Structure 1
Amino acid sequence: MFKRSTNLIAAAGVVVTLAAHAADAAIPCADGKRYYDLARKAGAQQDFEKATEWLNKSVGACDSYAAWHLMGTAFQRERKLKESLHAYEQAVVHAGTQDEAAVSLARYGQVLALNGQRFEALATLDRAIERHSNPPSWMRENARQLDHSLVDTPISSDSIKRSLSSQEFGLLSTDRLASSGLAGGDEEKTRVRIPINYKLDSTELDTLTSENIAELGKVLASETFDGRAFTLVGHTDVRGSWQHNMNLSERRAEAARDELIQQFPTLAGRLRVEGAGEAKPKYRGETLPEADHRLNRRLEVLVD
């Protein structure tokens, strides 16, 4: 899994030079700026160990978004993934703008993918894309490749739990995102975007993702979410009339609800359904590859 995730990230063109990751944000003190500049020079010479030493001195002199973000990149290049995650997390916290925070959040997602946590990585990249005013192409391409890599892969209940935990208590929690200017409105509800897709113009789950609904049910019916309610939102691809797709998406959510209750009776009365039709496709356009249309025909779960 590690090798495959690494190849996905490399293929998207995001394992680049340290200088290319360097942030232009101001450093709030002279010593911090001096150490930061030394770190960039070390990175240009591919000496990432020395770069992280200078960056630790920089944030020791004065915390800054630029230094934390660059430190995340230096650790990523050294394959010190735990340290890289911590640095990018600090960058999100210290970001001066929503776009800065979104970029560091996306880099955090890349490291999760390198660590084999592709499902959690996709949730993180999706959130970063939603919050960036003009998401760069590398961000969208990373998310798209991860999305396609996951659609044919069984998702475990443990992966779903980890993703939900990060949204309720970790870096993706509303409180953490709000401190960085990344949170806002109903879109910040904890949600699950697992590969549960449908056959064309049908409420029947496609064979490659039908087993994932059982893994979802295990989590929703667990003690962790005892007594909590959920909204199942059905989606369609962009083909067909607006009204047809709206009705179809609601029927898809109802079919998923019925399947979940059949397998996990304790969920009865706790599942609400909505149809979004073609209003919120993950991938836009009428002439998309069929693989992208398939990903638009999906189920989304919100924790109420």
Structure 2
Amino acid sequence: MHKHNLAGLAPVPQLLFSLALIFLALSKPALASQAGIPCDDGKRYYGLAQQAGAAQDFDKAADWLQKSITACDSYAAWHLLGTAYQKQRRLEDALAAYEQATLHATRQDQAALSMARYGQVLALNGQRFEALTMLERAIEAHPNPPSWMRENARELDQSLVESPISSDAIKRSLATQQFGLLAMNAIEGQNGPQQQEKATVRIPINYKLDSVEMDELTGGNIDELGKVLSSADYADKTFTLVGHTDVRGSWDHNLTLSQQRADAARQVLERRYPSLQGRLRVTGAGEARPKYPGERLPEADHRLNRRLEVIVN
């Protein structure tokens, strides 16, 4: 079982905490049926856990689910165990259970659902960067993501641009990507060894409309990014800067603009942090990978699509 590095982090803002609980309460219980549980004892214990959960006795529900898992491992029991622990605010136990649920999933939508719940638990503990990473992976993996996934991700995304980000927070985010589901490609690994995910430097850097100039809210974050990339911890690493646009404008124009954004960021970083010279690659994704698809969006969503992505090679 992976360690999850939960200690010592600031509590999540009250709004995010409230939203996470609302989403948990409104969403359907995980696999309300016993489909997929491969033995009679496992099904029976799972049913007793559901009854205990309906009575708000989550201690007893967790006990029955442990018995169900001992009788026969199943995705349904691991996922519901994560929910029981989440209800109890046993956050590290909830992360471990959702991780196991993801690894036991037999369908992509199951794995994506457990990944999203894993992200919610990270958010409850104040790990907003990591939570957003997990929710975005879940949305990408799910064939038809439920609305609560997108809304939870959007709320986290918006919260990250409302206050300055420190280099220490970025380093902590990178370090925690070595643990649990953040360190593996759980979807592609269903039928074989788990693949290591490339770490992503989670920092909001967004752009003015049709411009390579960073906007007022997040432009200052480029210095915090440079402090991390040029630090001794990453002296042997190279990085890829990926520019993105919103979906307005022509495809060709947006592709060129996204490349120009990444190159402008590279020039700023190399000028202010000379040790990065030769270690920064640039590319542009244009409008191909918007966080929030569609043209008829609030300007706040278009703005989040106009972003810089940083990948550790």
What TM-score does the superposition give when structure 2 sets the normalisation length?
Answer: 0.88
State the match for 1:303 in structure 2. Answer: 312
- Describe the superposition over 1:77-113 as per-residue Cα deviations: whole angstroms up to 9, x where unpaired: 1112121111111111211222211110000001111
Secondary structure of the corresponding residue to residue 14 of structure 1: helix
Residue identity over aligned pairs, in percent, reads 63
How far did residue 190 of structure 1 move?
2.8
Q: 2:67 aligns with which of 38, 44, 57?
A: 57
Structure 2 vs 1, CA of residues 132 and 183 (structure 1 numbering), >3 Å: closer, same or farther?
farther
State the match for 2:122 in structure 1. Answer: 112
Paired with 2:167 and 2:176, the residues of 1 have a C-alpha distance of 14
State the match for 2:264 in structure 1. Answer: 255
Structure 1 gaps of 5+ residues are none
- Identify the structure with the greater helix proportion: 1
Paired with 1:300 and 1:136, the residues of 2 have a C-alpha distance of 25
State the match for 1:4 in structure 2. Answer: 15
Q: What residue identity is the alignment partner of 2:264? A: A
Paired with 1:27 and 1:159, the residues of 2 have a C-alpha distance of 41
Structure 2 vs 1, CA of residues 101 and 162 (structure 1 numbering), >3 Å: closer, same or farther?
farther
Q: What residue identity is the alignment partner of 2:92? A: K
State the match for 1:284 in structure 2. Answer: 293
State the match for 1:81 in structure 2. Answer: 91
How far did residue 184 of structure 1 move?
10
Structure 2 vs 1, CA of residues 261 and 233 (structure 1 numbering), >3 Å: closer, same or farther?
same
State the match for 2:4 in structure 1. Answer: none
Paired with 2:27 and 2:248, the residues of 1 have a C-alpha distance of 43
Aligned residues between the structures: 301
Question: Is the aligned partner of 1:241 residue 2:250?
Answer: yes
Question: Is the aligned partner of 1:124 residue 2:138?
Answer: no
Secondary structure of the corresponding residue to residue 282 of structure 1: coil
Paired with 2:200 and 2:27, the residues of 1 have a C-alpha distance of 33
State the match for 1:294 in structure 2. Answer: 303
Question: Is the aligned partner of 1:101 residue 2:150?
Answer: no
Structure 2 vs 1, CA of residues 184 and 43 (structure 1 numbering), >3 Å: closer, same or farther?
closer
Secondary structure of the corresponding residue to residue 29 of structure 2: helix
State the match for 1:208 in structure 2. Answer: 217
Paired with 1:181 and 1:297, the residues of 2 have a C-alpha distance of 36
Structure 2 vs 1, CA of residues 57 and 39 (structure 1 numbering), >3 Å: closer, same or farther?
same
How far did residue 17 of structure 1 move?
6.8
How far did residue 188 of structure 1 move?
4.8
CA contact 1:171–1:177 (8 Å) conserved in 2: no
Mean alpha-carbon deviation: is it higher for 70-79 or for 241-250?
A: 241-250
Q: 1:48 aligns with which of 55, 58, 61?
A: 58
State the match for 1:135 in structure 2. Answer: 145
- Describe the superposition over 1:158-194 as per-residue Cα deviations: whole angstroms up to 9, x where unpaired: 3333433444453122465543369999x95332342
Paired with 1:23 and 1:96, the residues of 2 have a C-alpha distance of 17
CA contact 1:92–1:180 (8 Å) conserved in 2: no
What TM-score does the superposition give when structure 1 sets the normalisation length?
Answer: 0.90
